Amino acid sequence: MPALPLDELQIPIKDPATGKLRTLPALHPDKKTERYFVLYKPPPKACIPALVEEYLERAQFIADDLDWLLALPYDKFWCQVIFDDTLQKCLDSYLCFAPRRFDELVDASPALLRMQERLHRCIFLTFLRISTHKESKDHFITPSVFGEILYDNFLFDIPKLLDLCVLFGKGNSALLRKMIENIFTQQPNYYSDLDETVPTILQVFSNILSKCGLQDGSSAEPQKLEEKGRVSPCGMALQELKDVVFYLCDTSTTLWAFLDIFPQASQTFQKHDFLSRLASFYELVIPELESVIKKWTFEESSLQADVWRRLSHARKKLVEISHIIVNQTCLQPILENSSDNIQPFVEEFLQVFTSLVQEKRFLRDYDELFPVEDDVSLLQQASSSLDETRTSYILSAIEAAWEGARRRKAPVVGPA
């Protein structure tokens, strides 16, 4: 007899009240095991024994419970995942608060590190199991129902997917890519969720700008009176500056990690004109923060170097994000399609870069990592009817962006 998918399976159980046998769907709240998952809290910032002990106790509970969960048979596992609210909160709290490697370093005891590693692994395996609709020949869920289960029970949402990428993407990229592709394939609603999230991400950029006292050109709101006092990041307190740079660092790394694992999301980002918004954000915020960090009189120079390092990292990630989007929305389709069908992608490329000509600093940094000339020559090879005027306009804009930089450096290296 062929195995039934879990969502159609009926399992007989004894009614506790009457003692009679009745059948229940395999996925039913009554079949959930009573278990109480505690929330995850990150390791303490300092090695205070009482705090370390509390962390270890909490983490031990979670790791033990997840080991138990992973050892459950297929149907029991899914009942728990769907119907146990404490489990879902526990998983979400880990994604929220688990330390990223690029967070501030904390000296931790070996016991604490071992525990964190154990947790990290069982959290990943749990999400891996949740994102697999076919565990074996006999254990599977109908794909369309699987998609509904994921979405209706909030088993994944966009923030969780971003967290998963930044936490597990480096070491486990192949598996994670399969997981996330499967989630988006079985439940296309996640694309519309992503579409609704992009404006919020852009809002995060605007918030960073306004924290720095910089104005977003695209914002229609008049400047508020109370914010007027802050003219530039120069007026910020050290802690504020640190926060802004940490926030920028986390934001850019998280976005990049997501797009690196799932570049198919690029089109959804680009629907919101993401590239030009990102570039103008970059243009406003990067030079300003750079000059503030350079000028700042830090009491500890190590802190200054650390903040600088984070800003440089964020800078690079923002450029890499841009390149993934350009590659995914323009270059890749040009390479993959026959020459009859590439015109819209060529047009998109030209339009994107034409809209960026003002963003000189951004163009220069982008060109340094991903030479635009190479991409333009790809376009020239692929399309016979390329508008040379427009490509040379773009290339000369990039040339000009570099010129500006050289001129600034000129007094140092130029001949007397």
Partner 1 sequence: MALPRLTGALRSFSNVTKQSDYNGESDDLMKKKSKLREYALHFDLTWKKIIEFVLHNVDKKEEAGINGDLKDILQAARQIVGAEYGQDAVESGAVFLFKIFHVKECVGQDETKAIKQMFGPFPPSSATAACDATCRITSRFTEEQLADLVRMFEVKNGDTARGFGKNIIFSLDMYDLDRSEELPVNGENGTHKPISLDYCRFQNNHLATYQG
Site residues for partner 1, 275-294, by CB under 8 A, read 291, 293-294
| Cα–chain center distance at 327 | 18
Query: Residue 167 CB, nearest distance to partner 1 (Å)?
Result: 7
Burial class from Cβ neighbours inside 10 Å (0-12, 13-18, 19+) for residue 164 reads buried
Of the residues 129, 177, 272, 323, which one makes contact with partner 1 according to CB under 8 A? 129
Q: Please tell me the distance from the alpha carbon of residue 362 to that of residue 348, in angstroms, as a whole number.
A: 19
- Smallest separation (angstroms) from partner 1 to the CB of 253: 6
- According to the binding rule CB under 8 A, does residue 121 interact with partner 1? yes
Say how far apart CA 59 and CA 346 lie, in whole Å.
Answer: 52
Helix (H) or strand (E) holding 350: helix 343-355
Q: Residue 210 interacts with partner 1 (CB under 8 A)?
A: no
Separation CA 98–CA 301 (nearest Å): 28
Beta bridge partners of 11: 24
Residue 380 CB, nearest distance to partner 1 (Å)? 32
Question: How far is the CA of 140 from the CAs of 12, 74, 78, 125, 131, in angstroms?
Answer: 19, 8, 11, 17, 11
Nearer to partner 1, 29 or 344 (CB): 29
**Under the criterion CB under 8 A, does residue 147 sit at the interface with partner 1?**
no
d(Cα 216, Cα 209) in Å, to the nearest integer? 7
Q: Which one of 9-17, 119-127, 229-237, 373-381 is the stretch in contact with partner 1 (CB under 8 A)?
A: 119-127
DSSP state of 222: P
Site for partner 1 in 154-173 (CB under 8 A): 154, 157-160, 162-163, 166-172
The Cα–Cα gap between 374 and 376 comes to 5
CB 131 within 8 A of CB 183: yes
Between residue 41 and residue 60, which ones bind partner 1 under the rule CB under 8 A? 41-42, 54, 57-58, 60
Near partner 1 by CB under 8 A: residue from 52, 150, 180, 201: 201
Q: Which is nearer to partner 1, 93 or 383 (CB)?
A: 93
Q: Indicate the helix (H) or strand (E) that contains 243.
A: helix 238-261
Q: With CB under 8 A as the contact rule, which of the stretches 67-75, 216-224, 228-236, 322-330 interacts with partner 1?
A: 67-75
Instruction: Determine which residue in the list 5, 24, 177, 247 makes contact with partner 1, applying CB under 8 A.
Output: 247
Where in 87-116 is the site for partner 1 (CB under 8 A)? 89, 92-93, 95-97, 100-103
Interface stretch with partner 1, choices 11-19, 150-158, 371-379, 387-395 (CB under 8 A)? 150-158
